[in-house]
Amino acid sequence: MNCTRLLVVFSAVLILAGCNKNSVAKILKNKDVEYKLGMAEQYYANKKYSKAQILYEDLFPLLRNDPRFEDLYYKYAYCAFYQKDYGNAENLFKGFLEVFPKSQRASDADFMRANCFFKQSPRVELDQTPTEKAIGFMQAHLNNYPESANTEEAKKIIEECYEKLELKEFKSAELYYNVASYRAAAISYTNLLNSYPESKKADEYKLMIIKSYFMYAGMSVEEKQRERFEKVIEEYYDFLDRFPESKLVKDAEKYFNQSKNNLKAITNEQTDKKS
């Protein structure tokens, strides 16, 4: 074995010995509180959050009446967050606020609690309860901490959450339309527009309301068609009132004209039957 290889092997042995010496299990057995805290802080600084978390948890009963307990609790909550254990992190930030309501870190902890709900927000297709909670807690954060350093990020998160909820409603309405449940589609698009009247896609939603009612009228039995084509015309006029500058006016006008023509045909047919 040459000298270079011997040096590599010797170095590896030293590293392993050092790791073993400072393993979490051995640190936990050590009775020196200051040593444990120092190692926990070292792990935290080096982003080894799972190890830091174990040591912080062990130190909880030992430092509960120590001025450093606030810092320990705060970092302990962040350990959970950084490991993407958002449910536990939310509970820990909540606990921090209950124990240290006047802390200088209270604003950040409050934001982070709301952020944990945002991080748990699922795919659009799934239940959006965490998304709704994120909006509520973020808005409460803005109300309770108007000078928060996280104000802009909180506003951005709220906007993103609303966009996700809007998209979920849109996909539901779109599904109804695609499976030819046109009345349900019209109602869903109407609810969507009412929920998000300032949406960038508001005129698109209104056009889909018109299209859905038009398709619904066309599929209806003869005695129901008149009132349903009249509903299309009513929605068209509402479209013009709300979106007079929309690029979709001409598309809406097509359904308006077709509905008028269908009403004329219905009237003529009824007249012929009476003759």
**What value does the mean pLDDT take over residues 81-95?**
98
Residue 145's nearest CA partner among 106, 103, 89 is 106
The answer to pTM > 0.85 is no
Per-residue pLDDT of 94-137, as tens digits, reads 999 999 999 999 999 999 999 999 999 999 999 999 999 999 99
Q: How far apart are CA 87 and CA 80, in angstroms?
A: 9
**Sign of the C-alpha dihedral computed for residues 180, 183, 188 and 194 taken in this order:** positive
The DSSP string of 18-50 is: HHHHT-HHHHHH---HHHHHHHHHHHHHTT-HH
pLDDT at 90 over 70: yes
Q: In the chain, helix, strand, coil percent, each to 5?
A: 80, 0, 20
Q: Which domains does the chain have, with CATH numbers?
A: 180-275 (1.25.40.10)
Per-residue pLDDT of 212-269, as tens digits, reads 999 999 999 988 999 999 999 999 999 999 999 999 999 999 999 999 999 999 888 7
Cα-Cα end-to-end distance for the chain: 115
Residues 6+ apart with CB under 8 A from 211: 177, 255
Q: How far apart are CA 165 and CA 156, in angstroms?
A: 14
